[in-house]
Amino acid sequence: MSRIRNFLNELDDYELAYFAKFKLLTYMKVTQSGIKEYLAERNFNESKINKLISENPKSKLNDGKKRCERCYSEKVRINKVEWTNTGGGIGIKDEIATWDAIGGRVTYKDEVICNVCGFWLEDPNQEKPLPTSKKILNGIWEFIIGTLSR
């Protein structure tokens, strides 16, 4: 709990509001109740959270920093990932990457996730939790590609 507390201490009120609305529920029940205590300590309640989100002054910022599209925090995490999702693409760029993958060359892409609200800004491998139907669709693509490259 102390690790998450340290993280929450670094958030401003607006960031904390987004965190409470979008990310709180992704934690385990025990951690959630700890976070709720913390929110109470900072005098957060549902109406305050909604008010902060609707007011968010950062949505008007234009400072060229990489910001989350949902909460406008600049606390985003960028991971360089090996691009594995070469199957579902349609564009020319994607086709090149597909050929690179077949030729054994690895394409790296940025995976960008907001640390505050959990929003995926860039998801090259489509790893973010998806509704099941889309996962199945990805599976179908992999099946087709697998058949073609045999």
Residue 49 makes contact with Zn ion by CB under 5 A: no
DSSP letter (8 states) at residue 91? S
Size of the site for Zn ion (CB under 5 A): 7
- Min dist CB 116 to Zn ion, Å, is 5
CA 60 to CA 76: how far, in whole Å?
Answer: 18
In the block, which residue shows the tokens 């929003």? Answer: 119
Residue 68 makes contact with Zn ion by CB under 5 A: yes
Residues 70, 83, 98, 113: which binds Zn ion (CB under 5 A)? 70
CA 86 to CA 150: how far, in whole Å?
Answer: 16
- The residues that bridge with 111 in the sheet, in sequence order, are 79
CA 71 to CA 56: how far, in whole Å?
Answer: 8
- Min dist CB 139 to Zn ion, Å, is 29
Tell me which residues in 77-136 interact with Zn ion (CB under 5 A).
114, 116-117, 119
Q: Given the rule CB under 5 A, which residues bind Zn ion?
A: 68, 70-71, 114, 116-117, 119
